[in-house]
Structure 1
């Protein structure tokens, strides 16, 4: 894992790792994401000194009673329902290959729904790991050629990383479709869903993910993604997903481009 992880107390949960975003491309967050053919990811919880509402940057939500999630790195903002746990903008989460440890998917300034939804020691290392019910955030898409490509590749990659690794046959990816947020941002969305994932363990479930590919105020390709467990009690409904997605907007000048 990245050496910067040692800079803070990291809580590991199912393979996703939380860490401070200190710049550079080593965490893979600048990339459009590789299609899931390079191994499998792990899952982990975010760490940091956030008070749970550190991402709003003084902005008012577009949905009454919701909280704002701001990512200064990519110049984006969106709203989440009040039960979501908003992380500090300087934190990120990553799923890593559970065989090689290499990062597969990363997003920064995330928000979680029930970050300790399921806790288990599936790898029998004597350490319990927390699994979130769902997570949402934004990342870069360096190298992408279109918003369709971003939506398709990243939605697939999140489901693979979080719910099916190393299996590439237990999920399906829908078509990329045009989408416009309430603020007028145009781009593309795509869904990916797993069914009958061969992953095992107390917290193993099928999952779903949606990615919205678009350009920020500097014309740089970026993405918003939400993934979550499916077929379980409390699953994030599609209506809620789309309501969150509709609030995506640009905010300020991106500090990373």
Structure 2
């Protein structure tokens, strides 16, 4: 969903995009508390709140997510986030982004583009699922169908709180803005992954979003939050378009969720 709908000259829009790259690096570094984060272009204001690459190649010396871990589902691919230690598997058609990537959503009209919520080292399904030129500046804006990633929770008091807040914020920020009333939140429930990790899972979804462009849809999110071996709260989230022909089935989301584990067993 757009962060702001203002009529500005094309040159100003290009300048703002450049600024967004710089702001994105600083904000994501703060968001994930993991030092400098490179290789992304934050386009929350133009393409539904997702992050897209400046370059498809990771910085020198940075491994792609999934290195060193084997999938627990035959034929699937493994995604590893070295910042959170969270590992999960995705179907083979999902693309895995480098560990230096992050994706986040911002509040409409926020001049600082402070992330509402985000995750890093994501896996993305159909990165160019919908292409449009929302701001009519002659450049295409790409929206993915779905994505999943993980993060460390710095402010959450409990896994239940982290699960509820993350799912709700992804749906609100990525799909339902500016109407929070269109977001339905589910209660956090106990959940245990196939590897034996116990935590809380919560879902959220939107209904009745009025599209302003061809890529606008309702959305859904599922978040699983738990404490790692150090007692820190970490989370995994799936978020994607809802009510479209290619919507990811809940059974697939749950199967991906079941593979969530910590690196190294």
- Normalised by the size of structure 1, how large is the TM-score? 0.81
How many Å apart are 1:19 and its aligned residue? 9.7
Secondary structure of 1:125's match? coil
How many Å apart are 1:82 and its aligned residue? 0.2
Residue of structure 1 aligned with 2:244, choices 232, 236, 240 = 232
How many Å apart are 1:123 and its aligned residue? 2.3
Q: Tell me how large the CA RMSD over aligned residues is.
A: 2.6
Structure 2 vs 1, CA of residues 162 and 109 (structure 1 numbering), >3 Å: closer, same or farther? same
**Equivalent residue, structure 1, for 2:8:** none
- Equivalent residue pairs, number: 228
Structure 2 vs 1, CA of residues 19 and 244 (structure 1 numbering), >3 Å: closer, same or farther? farther
| 1:80 maps onto 2:90 in alignment | yes
**Equivalent residue, structure 2, for 1:203:** 215
Aligned 8 A contact 2:51 2:102 in 1: no
Aligned 8 A contact 2:69 2:263 in 1: no
Q: Which runs of 5+ in 1 are unaligned?
A: 1-11, 31-39
After superposition, give the CA deviation of every residue in 1:144-189 in whole Å (9 maximum; x if it has no partner): 1111101111100000111011111111001110000000000000
User: 2: distance between equivalents of 1:122 and 1:77?
Assistant: 35
Aligned 8 A contact 1:20 1:90 in 2: no
Q: Which has the higher helix share?
A: 2
User: 2: distance between equivalents of 1:86 and 1:67?
Assistant: 8
Q: Which runs of 5+ in 2 are unaligned?
A: 1-16, 34-43
Between 1 and 2, higher relative CO (CA 8 Å, sep ≥ 6) is seen in 1
Structure 2 vs 1, CA of residues 20 and 80 (structure 1 numbering), >3 Å: closer, same or farther? farther
